[in-house]
Amino acid sequence: ALRAALELLGFHCTAVWGRGRSGFALPSLAEVTRSRRGLRGDKLGRELGPTHISRLRTAGSKLCSSVSTGFGPFGRHPVNSSWEAVKELSNLGLGKDVVVQILQLHVAYKKTKEQVSKIWETLQPQFTVHVGVASSSKAIILEQCGRNRGYKDADICGFSPEGGVCLSDGPDVIESTISMKAVCKNISVNGIQVLFSRDAGRYVCDYTYYLSLHYGNGCAAFIHVPPLSNLLTADLLGRALQIIIQEMLKQFGKARE
């Protein structure tokens, strides 16, 4: 039933199992199934849709459920680096005792609103990470907050929110519970700079982030990645996401202790 519901929303998910564990139940799902890298045991494969759910043991060995997303093609980006990077992340995993599931979002306000709502209402993760492309950037950008107003640019369907507002009764700004400045300070990524930002751009990325922060009570993060190039490959971006998200989850785990 869950799979059918997600497929109606356009989800196409894959599950990836971390090393050293044959599987474990997700609280709001039945069992994520699909084996990775020749793990022993029965074939585990259940597909859910473009969403990434990951579970890992954070600080204090407390199990944490997380969802990660990338975006589909739009405009000058027939291949969206955010989705390519998230797919690489799913291959890399987030360490021992981690299950990774990836989800692709549409670059469309209405559809994305449905998808983000379903992530929190149906999957009920403890933490969600969204990844989008920053067209003019050569760096990775960690966004601290999402904003409610100023959405004037039309999406791939030619639609823009009425009044340029995400939620009519929502606050102007919602902050992530994660300190992005602390993440920037604590990590080092070879081959690419990591920057801090408080302006996610007032397009579908910012819109998605604001909604996720709203539904998740601040337990979300947004990472902008640059377009792919000869130097900035999907592999490099995937490895960067791995380092960054592991640091975020470490911070999140400590806050839960």
Distances (CA, A) of 149 to 45, 141, 173, 197, 224: 41, 21, 9, 17, 20
Q: What are phi and psi of 105, to 5 degrees?
A: -95, 155
Concerning whether 214 is annotated as a catalytic residue, the answer is no
Concerning whether 205 is annotated as a catalytic residue, the answer is yes
Annotated catalytic residue, options 84, 143, 145, 219: 143
Concerning whether 224 is annotated as a catalytic residue, the answer is yes
Beta strand pairing call for 145-147 and 173-175: antiparallel
Q: What are phi and psi of 165, to 5 degrees?
A: -110, 140
Distances (CA, A) of 97 to 54, 55, 129: 10, 7, 18
168: its two tokens:
């009519």
Annotated catalytic residue, options 205, 214, 219, 247: 205
The DSSP code for 114 is H
Tell me which residue has tokens 């601290």.
Answer: 144
Query: Rounded to the nearest 10 degrees, how much is the dihedral formed by the CA atoms of 77, 48, 248, 149?
Result: 60
Q: Which residues are tagged catalytic?
A: 143, 205, 224
